[in-house]
């Protein structure tokens, strides 16, 4: 009897979600309306809240009581999770973990412990895939020197994964998005374009290993280099795109940010993907949000889309010079527009 070997096609995780990665974020304008007025008031007897909702920074920071000058005297707390951005479950886990850890690095902190956040359609997708996702997250956290201690899971129609991360920082050496001043250069530590490449991956199944490599690269070394260079102002570039996150930084700092479009680095194939129409709804929402506050100059449509491309686990945007990172613009005194593209 002839036995024909059957082939099992790999599961394409990106087909089980409406969006993917940080492009799934609630639009920034809508989100700001939701959280408006929810900053709360100082709690009597509670540790001092150094960074909260006021400036829309990357993570919350609380000063520990009794910490002396120069001590590791602050706790950094954040959470981040999203639907599959790539089909490979292990890579998705690695990307989601690197993205969650990034918020701690963006504040100038060091991640210490994380807990998993997992939503899984248990009647649709096998748990073997979920195990690979968790393994990817564990491997990245281990690379960062961050413990993973349990977490929380729910049965959900769409797969989602991420982490809640707690870190530590020196409260006198934080990287904040409201500390930008005129004359500071702007450095970007990773190229843009993972959004359009991920969208192309979801549509065609093409795998872009260089995009995966960028998304799984920790922002640890970039944050350390920024602190050594004396930087006090930074953010990371994720779902709101370079323009969205830079707008938040410039607005919080009371300055105008000027971008040299020709100096911004892009991943290979990003411009072609944008030209091919592989642009997420999140990117279009980013442009709509910043357009009233932006002078785009002569920038063409593709450049505008890439500058607003919804990134997942993007690099750090630092107000200051970071060795090895390109300078893509500068902060200047406040002008008519908060963002200017040249």
Q: Which residues are catalytic?
A: 22
Q: How far is Cα 170 from Cα 62, in angstroms, rounded to an integer?
A: 11
Nearest to 306 by CA among 340, 258, 341, 274: 274
Cα–Cα distance list, 221 to 14, 97, 103 (Å)? 30, 16, 14
- Whether 226 and 316 have beta carbons less than 8 Å apart is answered as yes
- Whether 283 and 241 have beta carbons less than 8 Å apart is answered as yes
């Amino acid at each position: 009897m002839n036995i024909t070997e059957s082939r099992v096609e790999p599961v394409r995780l990106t087909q089980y979600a409406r969006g993917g990665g940080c492009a799934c974020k609630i639009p920034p304008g809508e989100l700001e309306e939701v959280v408006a007025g929810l900053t709360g008031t100082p709690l009597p007897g509670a540790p001092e809240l150094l960074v909260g909702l006021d400036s829309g920074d990357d993570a919350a920071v609380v000063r520990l009581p009794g910490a002396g000058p120069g001590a590791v005297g602050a706790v950094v707390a954040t959470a981040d999770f999203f639907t599959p951005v790539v089909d490979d479950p292990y890579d998705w886990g690695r990307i989601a973990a690197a993205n969650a850890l990034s918020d701690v690095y963006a504040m100038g902190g060091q991640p210490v412990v994380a807990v998993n956040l997992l939503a899984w359609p248990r009647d649709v997708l096998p748990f073997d895939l979920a195990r690979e996702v968790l393994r990817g997250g564990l491997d990245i956290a281990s690379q960062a020197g961050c413990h993973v201690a349990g977490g929380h899971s729910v049965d959900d129609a769409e797969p989602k994964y991420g982490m809640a991360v707690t870190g530590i920082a020196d409260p006198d050496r934080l990287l904040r998005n409201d500390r930008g001043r005129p004359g500071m250069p702007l450095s970007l530590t990773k190229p843009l374009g993972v959004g359009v490449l991920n969208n192309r991956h979801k549509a065609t199944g093409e795998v872009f290993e260089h995009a995966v490599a960028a998304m799984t690269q920790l922002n640890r070394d970039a944050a350390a280099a920024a602190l050594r260079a004396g930087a006090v102002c930074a953010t990371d570039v994720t779902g709101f795109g370079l323009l969205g996150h830079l707008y938040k930084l410039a607005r919080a700092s009371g300055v105008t940010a000027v971008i040299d479009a020709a100096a911004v680095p892009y991943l290979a194939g990003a411009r072609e993907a944008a030209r091919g129409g592989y642009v997420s709804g999140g990117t279009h929402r980013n442009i709509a949000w910043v357009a009233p506050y932006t002078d785009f100059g002569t920038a063409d449509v593709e450049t505008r889309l890439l500058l607003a491309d919804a990134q997942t686990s993007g690099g750090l945007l630092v107000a200051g010079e970071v060795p090895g990172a390109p300078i893509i613009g500068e902060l200047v005194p406040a002008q008519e527009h908060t963002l200017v593209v040249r």
